[in-house]
Amino acid sequence: MAGNFAIEHTQLNSRHRFLQTLANQPTDRPPVWMMRQAGRYMPEYRAIRAKHSFLQMVHTPELACEVTLQPVRRLGVDAAILFSDILTIPEAMGLIVEFPEGGPRLSPVVQSQADVDGLAPASAVERLDYVAQALRLCRAELNDTHALIGFSGAPFTLACYMVEGQGSKTFDSVKALMYTQPIVFTLLLDKLADWVIGYLRMQIDAGADAVQLFDSWAGELLADDYERYVLPSTLRIAEAIAQSGGKLMLFARNAGHLQHHVRRVPAAVIGLDQRIDLGVEAKIAKGQHKAVQGNLDPIELFAPVDHIRRRVAQMHAQVDGCAWIANLGHGITPRTPMVGVEAFLQAVHDLNGGPRP
C-alpha cells in the first residue's frame, strides 16, 4: 500500500496536486501560488503595462491571459490566478470605474434605494464575457499541467467601493448606509450576491478549477454586524457554488475577530491573512474537512533566504497534516525582490507533504 501511495505521488503534476488538496487528499508536497502573483514585481508585467492601460489589460482577453501565465512560466507556481480586478462587477452593473494615480474611482456613488434599483440586474452578467474568454485562453494554454483560479470581490467589499466611490480608511459612508438604511444596504448586498454567483459560475464553466472570493474589507466590521448583514450573502454564494459542483476559496482579510463566523461558510478552502494563527485554524479546518491557505506576511519576502525557508518550515509544521495551500497572507507588493519570491517557492517545493491521517 505504501508503494502504491508513492507511485501516486510521483505522478502528480501541479494541477493534480492542487485539486487533490482541494479534495483533502494526500499530496507529495503542498501546492503553492501567491495572491497578486501577476503584477508589478515582475519585469515581464511591467513591459506589457508600459504599452497598455490597466483597464485595457483587464478588458482584452489576450493580454489578460498573457499576464496570467507569466508567473507560471517563470516561477513554477502550481496555480495561475486570472489577471483581472474585483471592480469588473460594479462596472458591469453600470458604474464608471477609473484607475487614476492613487487608486480606483467609481461614479456615481450608491446612496439610496433608487440607486440600487438602477443598477443592472445579474441577468446582465454576460457583459463580463471578456473574463470568460480570458479564462478559456488560459485553460487552453495550461492544458492539464497547472491549476487555474478565477475570483470575485465579495458583496461587502464591492459595496464599500460602490458607496464610498473609492478606497477608504474609515468606511464611514458604507457603514452609515448600513446603520441608517439597513434595508437599502441589504438590498445592495443581495443584488451583488446574485452577480457574484453568476460571475463565478461563468468562470467555472470557462475552465477555472476553483474560484476565490475576496472580502478584503470584512475586517472593518464588528462581528455582530458581519453576522447580521454580510454573512448571509457569503453563505448564499458558497452554497450556490457548492451546489453547482464548484470549489470556493474564501479569503476575508483582517478577520481574526470574525473567524468563528467565517468558519461557518461551506468553502473548500479558508484563506488566512498573516495576523491569524495558522496552527489554530488548520486544526479546526481539518476537523471540518476543509483546506487552509496562507499565510506568510508578504513583507517577509524581503527577508534573507534563510529566514524565508525557516518560516515555510514553521508553517508546514503548524498545519500539522491539514490540507494546505502555501500562499501569502495578502497580495505580493510591487517592490518585492525576486530572490525572496524564488526562495519562498523553492522552500515549498522542497517540502515533503507525506500522507495525512
Q: Are both 311 and 220 inside the same structural domain?
A: no
- Whether residue 104 sits in one domain with residue 68: no
Q: What is the pLDDT of residues 282-336, one digit of tens each?
A: 999 999 999 999 999 999 999 999 999 999 999 999 999 999 999 999 999 999 9
Q: Catalytic annotation on 40?
A: yes
> Can you give the residue range of the structural domain that contains 298?
24-83+272-352
In a domain, 5, yes or no: no
- Annotation marks residue 36 as catalytic: yes
Region of residue 24 (left: phi > 0; alpha: psi -120 to 50; beta: else): left
Average pLDDT of 29-40? Answer: 96
Instruction: Write down the catalytic residue from 40, 74, 228, 264.
Output: 40
pLDDT at residue 1 above 70? no
* Residue 14 maps to a domain: no
Residue 340 is assigned to a structural domain of this protein: yes
Q: Annotated catalytic, 46?
A: no
Beta bridge partners of 53: none
pLDDT score of 2? 30
Q: What percent of the chain clears pLDDT 90, i.e. is strictly above it?
A: 93
Kindly name the residue from 15, 28, 139, 161 that is annotated as catalytic: 161
Residue 6 confidence (pLDDT) above 60:
no
Tell me, yes or no, whether 206 and 314 share the same domain. Answer: no
Catalytic, out of 49, 127, 236, 356 = 49
Q: Are 245 and 22 in contact (CB under 8 A)?
A: no
pLDDT digits (tens, 9 = 90+) for 126-182: 999 999 999 999 999 999 999 999 999 999 999 999 999 999 989 999 999 999 999
Which triple of cell numbers denotes residue 320?
500539522
> What's the average model confidence in pLDDT over 238-263?
96
Asked if the model's pLDDT at residue 3 lies above 70, the reply is no
Q: Where are the alpha helices (DSSP H) in 42-154?
A: 43-49, 54-59, 61-75, 88-92, 113-117, 129-142
Same domain, 299 and 234: no
- Tell me what pLDDT residue 354 has: 42
Residues 206, 113 share a domain: yes
pLDDT at position 8 over 70: no
Whether 139 is a known active-site residue: answer no
Catalytic: which of 28, 85, 194, 209?
85
Q: Give catalytic status of residue 85 as yes or no.
A: yes
Exposure of 91 in the CB half-sphere (CA atoms within 13 A): 21
Residue of 17, 36, 201, 253 marked active site: 36
Tell me if 35 is assigned to some domain.
Answer: yes
Q: Are 152 and 145 in contact (CB under 8 A)?
A: no
324 - beta bridge partners? 292
Is pLDDT above 90 for 94? Answer: yes
